[in-house]
Amino acid sequence: MKFLVLGATDRTGVPFVKKALDQGHEVTALVRRADANVDPRAQIVSGDVTDAAVIATAARGHDAVISTLGANNVRETPTLVTDTVRAVVASAKTSGVDRFVIVSAFGVGDSLAKASLLAGLIFRTALRKTYADKAASELLLKASELKWTLGYLAH
């Protein structure tokens, strides 16, 4: 398969890209800077992950868009994940790529009910802004017409 990966340079994206390439898949990494540190077997495209036109151009010819994005600084980019999901949904109309896989975090959305009391407290306080962004993105994703898969990672 051929994947467009958003977040290919973060702590979840790096191992995902490596594993996909090791298994024989083709990977294109959409990154902010063309000199980003990405597995040399991957194709690199630089651009803004919140720009639907950029995503549509990069996604053409791919089987799926994969997002492992997370905001490094929630003060600077408080709606990064939501804005990215909005852009991916919009890009599907012109790219023809309607399969979207997104990695979220345990404690977001429906998974919050499965968290312990202490973890739930942390999610609702210390991680409040980050998780609000991810929760809003999940609502957009679920309301979209995309063929989507949502995965949760524990932090």
The string of pLDDT tens digits covering residues 90-115 is 999 999 999 999 999 888 878 778 88
CATH number, domain containing residue 6: 3.40.50.720
The kind and range of the H/E element at 100 are strand 99-105
Query: Would you say residue 154 has pLDDT above 70?
Result: no
Spatial distance between the Cα atoms of 73 and 84, rounded to a whole number of angstroms:
15
pLDDT at 54: 98
Determine the structural domain holding residue 65 and report its residue range. Answer: 2-153
Q: Which of 36, 65, 68, 40 is nearest to 144 (CA)?
A: 65
Q: Pick the range with the lowest mean pLDDT from 43-47, 77-81, 91-95.
A: 77-81
Taking residues 122-144, report their average pLDDT.
Answer: 88
Domain count, the chain: 1
In terms of residues, how long is the chain? 155
